[in-house]
Amino acid sequence: MATPLTADRFVAALRAEGVTVVEHPGWRTHNRNGHGAWGPVTGVIIHHTVSAGTANTVEMCFNGYEGLPGPLCHGVIAKDGSVHLVANGRANHAGGGDPSVLQAVITETYGERPPGPREHQGSSGAVDGNSRFYGFECVNLGDGTDPWPPAQLDAIERVSAALCRAHGWGARSVIGHKEWSDWKDDPRGFAMPTMRDRVRKRLGAAPAKNPPAKPAAPRLQPFPGTSFFRAETSSPVITAMGRRLVAEGCSAYTVGPSPRWGEADRLSYAKWQHKLGFRGSDADGIPGAASWNALKVPYTK
Ligand SMILES: [Zn+2]
């Protein structure tokens, strides 16, 4: 249990976790605080919207609809992974739910899933979830076939981890609406235990401000030009080339490749040209650009 984050700390926590945050106008003072408690907070509930399109979904979650006044969550997670903040304070997202689930989340003592809920909004044993949970509505039709793009799942993982990290919670503090209320089936289309695993892994690492970069492609030695390959040349490029020829099974070396260009290099390179399908003067052992690029000699200088 914890005191809810201020708007500034909320935004800072999300951004520190690499979330693309969009602040909807008015969100910092938009809430349902006059209609019940806000806090102490104990976790995060993930929802799907049963809607399509970012702009209209954000409007709906800010304003609500007839019979359910907004805000309907704290943030809308779009299919592109952007997170649109619409509320700061109590919001109409969780409704009534099961006290045994609340207890399991507070103590973070459950296995793959919290105990199955037996309460819902208006049922006799239900407890108020709107005072205890941050809520995120994810844009999805909720029909089980509307896809969940990787960027959207990544954003769910990041916002959940951001709030867990800010409050010192573990991944078991993140549940789906259907794990809170027996009337609900959201989110549908991905598994909450899998999402909790992702959050757990993320919490095990330092906050990553940016998505992990792809490993850089190994840098290759550009073709140095035909005139480079003559007896006067002594260069680590020749050694690197020779090592690649050996690796490709094109060795005519009696001793290992050396920096100085020689007949063994030429004969070895001719084998490589043959292997590539060159014949005659195209396979004379003097490197050309096409065969050189195909050899992928590592950059050495
Ligand atoms: Zn929901």
The model's pLDDT over 169-196, given as tens digits with 9 standing for 90+, comes to 999 999 999 999 999 999 999 999 999 9
CA distance 226 to 123: 83
Residue positions counted in the chain:
301
The stretch 8-17 carries a mean pLDDT of 97
Q: Compute, in angstroms, the gap from residue 177 CA to the centroid of ligand 1.
A: 5
Report every protein residue that has its C-beta within 5 angstroms of ion ligand 1.
47, 177, 186
Q: Compute, in angstroms, the gap from residue 213 CA to the centroid of ligand 1.
A: 33
- The percentage of residues in the chain with a pLDDT greater than 70, rounded to a whole number, is 95
For each of the domains in the chain, give its residue range(s) and CATH number, in order of start: 7-203 (3.40.80.10), 226-295 (1.10.101)
Q: Compute, in angstroms, the gap from residue 73 CA to the centroid of ligand 1.
A: 9
Q: Give 252's Cβ-side CA count (13 Å radius).
A: 12
pLDDT for position 210:
47
Q: Compute, in angstroms, the gap from residue 93 CA to the centroid of ligand 1.
A: 6
Is the pLDDT at 215 greater than 90? The verdict is no
Confidence of residue 301 (pLDDT cuts 50, 70, 90): low
CA distance 9 to 204: 21
pLDDT for position 267:
96
Residue ranges of E strands in the chain: 21-23, 43-48, 64-65, 68-69, 75-77, 83-85, 96-97, 127-128, 133-138, 174-176
pLDDT for position 214:
54
CA distance 208 to 73: 25
Confidence of residue 217 (pLDDT cuts 50, 70, 90): low
Q: Compute, in angstroms, the gap from residue 76 CA to the centroid of ligand 1.
A: 12
What lies within 8 Å, CB to CB, of 88 at 6+ separation is: 7, 10, 27, 28, 29, 30, 31, 74
pLDDT for position 300:
84
Measured from the Cβ of residue 215, the count of other Cβ atoms closer than 10 Å reads 6
Is the pLDDT at 218 greater than 80? The verdict is no
pLDDT for position 216:
61
Confidence of residue 205 (pLDDT cuts 50, 70, 90): confident
Distances in Å between the alpha carbon of 165 and those of 16, 134, 168, 177?
Answer: 10, 14, 5, 21
The stretch 94-122 carries a mean pLDDT of 97
Phi and psi at 84, nearest 5°, equal -100, 115
pLDDT for position 209:
47
The stretch 246-271 carries a mean pLDDT of 95
Is the pLDDT at 207 greater than 90? The verdict is no
Q: Compute, in angstroms, the gap from residue 163 CA to the centroid of ligand 1.
A: 19
Q: Compute, in angstroms, the gap from residue 222 CA to the centroid of ligand 1.
A: 56
CA distance 113 to 245: 56
Q: What stretch of H or E contains 294?
A: helix 289-295
- The percentage of residues in the chain with a pLDDT greater than 90, rounded to a whole number, is 90
pLDDT in tens, 23-72: 999 999 999 999 999 999 999 999 999 999 999 999 999 999 999 999 99
Indicate the pTM of the whole model: 0.69
Is the pLDDT at 212 greater than 50? The verdict is no
Confidence of residue 211 (pLDDT cuts 50, 70, 90): very low
Confidence of residue 256 (pLDDT cuts 50, 70, 90): confident
Q: Compute, in angstroms, the gap from residue 128 CA to the centroid of ligand 1.
A: 14
Is the pLDDT at 208 greater than 70? The verdict is no
